A and B are shown apart, each in its own frame.
Chain A
Amino acid sequence: MADSTEKNRKKQKRTKAKAVESTFLSKTRKPEKKGKRKGRDNDQRKRRGGGPRLPNVLRQELGLDAKRNSSSDSDSEGGEDVRDFYELDEEVAQEESGKNRRFDEVENYQYELPDDFEDEEVPSDEGEDDSDKSEGEDQRDKEDGERHLRMLQDITGIPKEAFDGEKKKREEVLLSQADVRSEIVTIHDLLAPLQGMPGYSSLRKRVLQQEKQPMTLQAPLPKSERDKVQRKVSDKFARKEITKWEGVVKRNREAPTLFFEQDQNLGYSTVGAIASGFEPRTEFEKQMAQLRQDPELVEAYKNDGAKMLELNKVSVKDVIDRQNRLAKMRSLLFRHEMKAKRIKKIKSKTYHKIKKKERQKAASAELEMNPEAAKQQAIKQEQKRAEERLTLKHKNSSKWAKRILKRGLDVQDDATRAAIAEQLQKHEELKRKMNSMNNNESSTDEESSDDDDEEEDESKRALKALNKAKEKTAKVLEEGDEAPKKGLFALPFMERGLKKRQEEAYEEARQALEDYDATLNQLQDEGEEGEEETQQNSSAVKMTGKRTFGPAKKPVAQEYNKRKRLDDFGKDSDSEEEDGEFDEPVPQIIEDKNDKTEGVQLGTALLDEEQVMAQHAIFRNLDDMEKAVGPKTSYEVAIFAGDSFRKVRSDSGHSNKATTSSVIHTSKPSHETKETDQSYETDSDTEMVEGFLTTNLITDQKPDYELPSQAELVRRVFAGDDVAAEFERDKLETLNEENPEPEKPALVPGWGQWTHVQKKKGLPDWMVREHEEKKRKRGEALKKRKDAKFDHVIISETINRKAEKLMATSLPFPFTSKEAYEGNMRMPIGPDFNPASALSALNRPEIIKKPGLIIQPIEYEEVDPDETHDQPKRIIQGAKPKQSSKEKSKKGKLSNKLVPKTLGKKVKST
């Protein structure tokens, strides 16, 4: 029994395996084959014992012949031959058939299950059960088929083989029955009703043609061939399937960064959530839980627990109110604190000045209100003032100030000068009250006169300035002394000292007046003859580049004055300030003149002799004037107060000091040292004015000005410097640096000198030769240089050894051009050179993954080949919600069956 079932199973398997091949069989052959198998089973044993088997090829030949000869219902013998094509793998092995006794007698070469194996395993195996069951059904089916066949045989009288194997295909059975029973339905019968329809004749013709030719079927291909065909088809199919991935793969490869990330569900996030899922496990926990959930306890808590808290007695509204109040207070406090902090941090001087002023204002207001306080304040102030006057603490009397003055102010830096000026300013401020007593009246008329002389010529202005200075000095002289009758100055010793000083000042002023007169006369004389020259000069200067200083001068001076006035606006108008203001235009002019001459000097190449002479003449005049005045004259201060420091510098430091002492008497007894700091101010101011001038120049073009040609302009611009020669020199230098000239052979001192041999012979031959050789080599090297042929080019051939390690020897892989590579390398990627927002993109690694995250293999998605690559993120692995255990089990069940991939995915995503 076991044997037969085994055989049956084999048979079934065989039919299953043939299912694939069956596509190559014609339908008509099918039943025939099945019938044959049945027959073969019957006589298998007999065949095994038979004679030697033919080789395959021969059998094939025979089979083909047999098949051609045989009709559709040929006898079983012919069918036997044909079958071998289909059953190639079922052939009895040579060793099994015992052919020629060449093989050892072994029962079975292949590993086979033991016979009793099945019986053991059957009950545990579902599959086996199934197959058994189906076998039983098969058996029943078979019996049914037998009966049916018998019936057919009875009816038709044809052997039953003809009908075997047709049970499954109902239609075919019907057809064959019809064929066999009575050939009622032929193709002609089918065609008959179509008569008269279009295309009938052609159809009929084809049918007739087919009937004439005998029907033959192609022999099925050998198995190897069939497999080959199958593989080819399969290859085509698989290739198509694989190729669809190309887009995805390409996109992933080109993506700068792949993200294997997942929004991981980290599970419970809050303590409450965790607690809610808590289940007591141990004994202790269970007891605790039982206690906690005890209904009695819960009830008790509900009843009493609420009353246990003391705060519960306070009404909600009260609590809220209190909270609000506290919050308000806190916020106010905080705000106040923050404000104080902020104010404390402010460094702006202006702000503090304003603040201070406000404070003072408040203080003064208080003073007004409170006479007692005012009195106190006045006394305090007075005391301070007296102290200042006594100690002269701020009058450059300190060690520091003295040292600085000794070294000369002009060598100091700006800050020091500013400090000195500030000190003096303070001094002035402290003494101000007295000054304000004898304030000047001349400010208004001076201003108007300032306005007047704006139109005047420079020379005239100089004259006028001198006149003015004279007048002023005279006025000062006339004014005499109005000694204070009150305060400290009223003290007898002070009075005496004051008087003495005033006398000195008076003396000096008088002297100055005389000097004024003298120079005025001189200037007037020279001015008359020099006027033409200056005019000529000015016209000549117009031709040079810098000559245009002239026309813009006046407005600038004006502006300058105005500005000065504006600056002074806030201050009390002191006479000394007025003085300064009055004095300034004149030195301005002189300065300008000097500038002009300088400018002219730059353009000397263009100027003819005459002009130079004229220039010199006027310059000399001014120089003379300066020299004639001498360092100690007070009018120098009056005139040159606004002059630049350079001019003062021309005098010695000592002279500076001298002026300091002398000036006191000229202007007013009150402002002795003012001139020094004033000169600072004016110094910087004039510079600014110069800057202004140059800008103004361009707009202030005169309409009759002729534009010089471009060449002319270029010539003028580069008139001073010889560019070509300079370049040549540069080139020579580079050449010498890169290919240094060989050292001249020289004798080492002491060597060979004793005998005077070398002195007589000169240098040894080899030295000379070596030197020659070196020279020659250098010449060659120079000739080989890249820039040897270009006169106007220097191509450096030095190699920077230190930069060499930053250079790549060859173009690195992903780059295709040098430019691209260099462009990429030029941009730094570090946090020191890039803002934080750009940093992460620059430093992003190629793959971003999270440790501990399982990366799933790729899943297919459509890729648009034309899509742009600007999408920022290329996420391979999307978010996947965490599976609950239920879903997992469901999935497991599903995956036990053969689920198509898509379905599996769906399950996963739910």
Chain B
Amino acid sequence: MKVKVISRSTEDFTRERSKDLQKVFRNYDPNLHTQEKAVEYTRALNAAKLEKIFAKPFIGAMDGHIDAVSCMAKNPNYLKAIFSGSMDGDIRLWDLATRKTVCQFPGHQGAVKGLTSSTNGELLVSCGTDCTVRLWKVPSLNFDSTVDTSKPSAIYTWKHAFRGVDHQWNSSIFATAGAQVDIWDHNRSEPINTFQWGNDSVISIRFNPGEPNLLATSSSDRGVVLYDLRTSSPFKKIIMQTKTNSICWNPMEPINFTAANEDCNCYTFDARKLDEAKVVHKDHVSAVMDVDYSPTGREFVTGSYDRTVRIFNYNGDHSREIYHTKRMQRVFCVRYSCDASYVISGSDDTNLRLWKSKASEQLGVLLPRERKKHEYHDALKARFKHLPEIRRIVKHRHLPKPVYKAAILRRTVTEAENRKEQRRQAHSAPGSSSRKPFRKRKIIKEES
């Protein structure tokens, strides 16, 4: 009889260090693993539960302003820095890592309504109700900087109060919103261009970071207007049922932008086709005050007057996450951090709050095995997310009582409306009345 000697190379079986793991040999024959689906399902269930257990999104609050935080701006070139402006004219630069004020930029007489930073992060532009636009040199967070922040590098006074400002990507142009839209250059004391479509004041303004010559504004006549700086003219306008408080372009999809509306919803539009919203993001129970996209373009964060911050998927009609604390009041501004892993909210209670964008994410250095484990758990959750038990666990959120009740009320109202509409349809002659889909219902007209 011939004896087969198992031959193994010693290299495979010797550890380099005593703390290395022994190689495990497995037989992957599917016939040996008949219960794999049940096994993975149970793992997914456990992963979902673990996610709940570890969901601790709140990192810390940044206290310092003495009035409500009205606007924020992130430094596109420096991760740790965030600027915030308050209703009393105070502008602060925060270090997110230490959650402390680095410096203040005093000077505004009224509320600061708009803040933005140039792409290289060296210049801060602020504007407010005192009809001034102020440019500030930004000190770097290293301590050897000698920038004097007590005085702005330039003050441009203009005819009307300002409501918002945004900086063009990779250029020296910024745009302000007020009675009209003004396009400014860093070095000019007067706007280099001015647009007006309709007579109502412009509330918010945002440049498209991917396609920097496009500009979107929302105005108090409930309109959303798009501009092109190359032809230096507006080119599209829609009037919605309620006014849009804020607008943000998707940084990875320059086609799309999302408008945070007063009617508790956010609407994502295709800039070429404004007669219908691509997605309606519902969940807030009060006006949405601000919206900001994650730099990955896959989700965005909204802050609402209902004292909550929510995170939506770019194509999800309901929020993925809701953040709230007992002390957080009306949220006026939100920003997604430049590495897509944090969210900052500024609210009426004079605080800035720092949140994790994934509530149960483990911060700090992850070893490869740990990372793989997390990836596996995430993949499992994604795979079984439609199964009832897992869906229930993953979706469940504790809500503040007012929000919970308001949501129920809103649901009741919409259901009643739907019922009524259905009955109306049922009792009218076929074809005589057609109901618009919800995506189109809130858009009153499209102008050109």
B contacts, CB < 8 Å to A: 3, 5, 10, 26, 28, 30, 33, 36-41, 43, 76-77, 79, 118-120, 122, 131, 157-160, 169-173, 185-190, 209-214, 226, 228, 230-236, 251-256, 271-272, 295-298, 338-341, 363, 372, 375-376, 378-380, 383, 385-389, 448
Contact = CB atoms under 8 A, between A and B. Distances in A.
Contact of B340 (A230, A855, A891): A855
Query: Closest 7 interchain pairs by CB?
Result: A855-B295, A857-B209, A857-B251, A235-B235, A812-B386, A234-B231, A234-B235
B379 A112 contact: no
Contact of B33 (A112, A228, A349, A832): A832
A897 B37 CA distance: 62
B340 to A, nearest CB: 6
A855 B295 CA distance: 6
Interface string A72-115: 00000000000000000000000000000000000000111100
A300 interface: no
A844 B272 CA distance: 34
B387 A833 contact: no
Interface of A: 20, 110-113, 117, 121, 125-128, 227-228, 230-235, 237-239, 241-243, 245-246, 249, 252-253, 258, 260, 338, 348-351, 805-806, 808-809, 812-813, 825-826, 828-835, 839-840, 842-847, 849-860, 876, 888, 891-892, 895-899, 901, 904-905
Contact of B40 (A351, A828, A849, A850): A828
B187 A896 contact: yes
Given A258-B296, A846-B298, A242 B234 contact: no
Contacts of A853: 339
B233 A230 contact: yes
Contacts of B171: 895, 898-899, 901, 904
B169 A857 contact: yes
23 contacts: A110-B159, A230-B231, A231-B233, A233-B231, A235-B448, A238-B214, A238-B228, A238-B271, A241-B228, A252-B253, A351-B3, A805-B388, A808-B386, A809-B388, A828-B36, A828-B40, A839-B372, A840-B372, A852-B339, A854-B79, A858-B251, A860-B211, A899-B170
A365 B255 CA distance: 93
B363 to A, nearest CB: 8
B139 to A, nearest CB: 14
A892 B251 contact: no
Which of B5, B76, B228, B372 gathers the greatest number of chain A CB atoms within 10 Å?
Answer: B228
Contacts of B372: 831, 839-840, 843
Nearest to A831: B376
A843 B158 CA distance: 56
B136 to A, nearest CB: 15
B214 A242 contact: yes
B295 A857 contact: yes
Nearest to A124: B154
Contacts of A806: 37-38, 41, 387
Given A854-B79, A891-B120, 12 more contacts: A127-B189, A230-B233, A348-B3, A805-B41, A806-B38, A812-B386, A832-B36, A845-B375, A846-B298, A847-B298, A851-B363, A904-B171
B173 A892 contact: no
A854 B341 CA distance: 10
A840 B210 CA distance: 31
B28 A833 contact: yes
Contact of B26 (A128, A832, A851, A901): A832
Contacts of A125: 189
A845 B272 contact: no
Nearest to A802: B38
A846 B375 CA distance: 10
Nearest to B173: A898
A245 B211 contact: yes
Given A235-B448, A901-B171, A855 B37 contact: no
A230 B236 CA distance: 11
A237 B339 contact: no
Contacts, number: 216
A111 B448 contact: no
A898 B172 contact: yes
Nearest to A811: B386
A825 B228 contact: no
The B interface, classified by DSSP as helix, strand, loop or mixed, is loop
A843 B255 contact: no
A282 B233 CA distance: 58
Contacts of B40: 828-830
B247 to A, nearest CB: 16
A140 B209 CA distance: 45
Contacts of A246: 255
A525 B250 CA distance: 108
Given A258-B296, A828-B37, A832-B33, A111 B28 contact: no
A239 B231 CA distance: 12
Contact of B236 (A110, A113, A235): A235
B339 A849 contact: yes
B170 A239 contact: no
Contact of A897 (B33, B172, B210): B172
A237 B230 contact: yes
A846 B382 CA distance: 10
B339 A228 contact: no
A235 B189 CA distance: 30
A805 B44 CA distance: 13
A843 B379 contact: yes
Contacts of B376: 829-831, 839, 843
Contacts of A899: 170-171
A905 B378 CA distance: 37
B103 to A, nearest CB: 20
Nearest to A241: B211
A842 B379 contact: yes
Nearest to A846: B298
Contact of B234 (A234, A825, A833, A859): A234
Contacts of B36: 828, 830, 832-833
Contacts of B272: 239, 242-243
Which of A249, A812, A845 gathers the greatest number of chain B CB atoms within 10 Å?
Answer: A249
Given A825-B37, A829-B40, A852-B339, A895 B172 contact: yes
Which of A350, A855, A891 gathers the greatest number of chain B CB atoms within 10 Å?
Answer: A855
A847 B38 CA distance: 27
B423 to A, nearest CB: 27
Contacts of B120: 888, 891-892, 895
Contact of B211 (A242, A855, A856, A897): A242
Nearest to A808: B386
Nearest to A240: B272
Contacts of B187: 126-127, 896
Given A842-B379, A849-B296, A895-B170, A231 B235 contact: yes
Which of B170, B188, B383 gathers the greatest number of chain A CB atoms within 10 Å?
Answer: B170
B41 A834 contact: no
Contacts of A855: 295-296, 338-340
A858 B160 contact: no
A348 B226 contact: no
A388 to B, nearest CB: 29
A110 B161 CA distance: 12
Given A127-B189, A831-B376, A845-B379, A252 B252 contact: yes
A249 B255 contact: yes
A230 to B, nearest CB: 5
B340 A849 contact: yes
Nearest to A128: B189
Nearest to B230: A237
Contact of A898 (B76, B185, B386): B185
A231 B197 CA distance: 11
A895 B186 CA distance: 10
Which of A351, A825, A854 gathers the greatest number of chain B CB atoms within 10 Å?
Answer: A854
A237 B232 contact: no
Contacts of A112: 159
A258 B314 CA distance: 15
Which of B41, B380, B386 gathers the greatest number of chain A CB atoms within 10 Å?
Answer: B386
